[in-house]
Amino acid sequence: MSDSIKKQIMDKVLAVLEPMHAGGLVRSITREVDLTINAPARPALQIYDGPERLTNKDTRGRTFHFDIAVKVLVESQRDLGAAKDALVPEVQRLLESNLQLGGLAVIVDGGEEVPFISEVQKPLGGSLVMYTIQYRRILGDPTTTY
């Protein structure tokens, strides 16, 4: 059985960002479901996907949007500014140079950096880079795009 389009998209996002791991910029790149989870080794990237929103439908299929967040975790608070300033543009460059994610989907919006902070507005060790993904799938076949 084939993977759903959304799973294929998330696998492609991980593959697009892999040069950061291979090049030694980050120690790990993982897909996570809990935004509060910490990475065992830093610097690291954690990818989160949000719920799908139906945006259009026709007789052949459906069009969905969902958000992804790339959590950029840096080594320590002391190098927070310099480290995230080096990693965030690389995430943006890699994802935005592959806007169609291998023909599976289209990155329709985003790229903004949002620092994650505590209740007292202090940085907690990195940033989120947010994107909105759009994809279409055939009605009754969540594994095939059109």
pLDDT along the chain (146 residues), means of 10: 93 98 97 88 95 97 97 81 91 96 94 75 74 97 94
CA 27 to CA 39: how far, in whole Å?
10
Q: Which pairing describes strands 123-138 and 106-117: parallel, antiparallel, or unpaired?
A: antiparallel
pLDDT of residue 117: 64
All structural domains of the chain: 5-138 (3.30.70.1700)
128 pairs with which residues across the strands? 71, 114
For residue 81, the model assigns a pLDDT of 81
pTM value is: 0.91
pLDDT at res. 124: 60
Q: Could you tell me if 137 and 145 are in contact, meaning their C-beta atoms sit under 8 angstroms apart?
A: yes
CA geometry: angle at 88 spanning 84 and 90, to 5°? 125
Which run of H or of E encompasses 11? Answer: helix 5-22
